[in-house]
Amino acid sequence: MHIRIRRAFDEPPITYELPDTLDGQPWGRQSVSVALAYIQRRIDPTLSYALSCGRGTCNICVIRVEDEVVTACTTAVAHDMLIEPARQILQMKDVIVDMGLVKKARISSVGPTFRRDLDTPESAR
């Protein structure tokens, strides 16, 4: 049992091996969100994914599976499925895409709306 995740568009997808079941439940009855959390927690802590409402309403967790944009929390895991960021232009990191509803009114420490009048300590890096 494995799934593939495309974390960067200029790189091939990464294959992650999963156990046959999780907590005794077959993957076919669990969501891609559960699989992403499992991978981040148990296999690869560098994976970034979006936490969500868990019921297909908020759309924060959208991903692309077999060329279709779906919510990760309501999509069942399948063997060898390819998970990609929903849209390249919206990609923030790994499978997280920017689904912001108020982008025009947004402020942040990066990007075109950068506000230097705010006190900004040096990066955590």
Sheet holding 14-17, edge to edge: 14-17, 2-5, 82-85, 62-65, 68-71
**Using rule CB under 8 A, residue 79 touches other proteins:** no
> Which of these segments, 10-18, 30-38, 63-71, 78-86, binds other proteins (CB under 8 A)?
30-38
Euclidean distance between CA atoms 61 and 122, whole angstroms: 30
Strand partners, 36: none
> Which of these segments, 8-16, 64-72, 83-91, 112-120, binds other proteins (CB under 8 A)?
112-120
Closest CB 120 distance from other proteins, rounded Å: 6
> Which of these segments, 3-11, 46-54, 63-71, 79-87, binds other proteins (CB under 8 A)?
46-54
Alpha carbon of 84 to those of 14, 37, 68, 107, 113: distances in Å?
11, 15, 10, 27, 28
Instruction: Give residue for tokens 């802590």.
Output: 45
- 76, 81, 82, 91: which one binds other proteins (CB under 8 A): 76
Euclidean distance between CA atoms 64 and 88, whole angstroms: 10
Site residues (CB under 8 A) for other proteins? 23-25, 29-31, 34, 40-41, 45-49, 51-60, 74, 76, 92-94, 96, 99-102, 104-110, 117-125
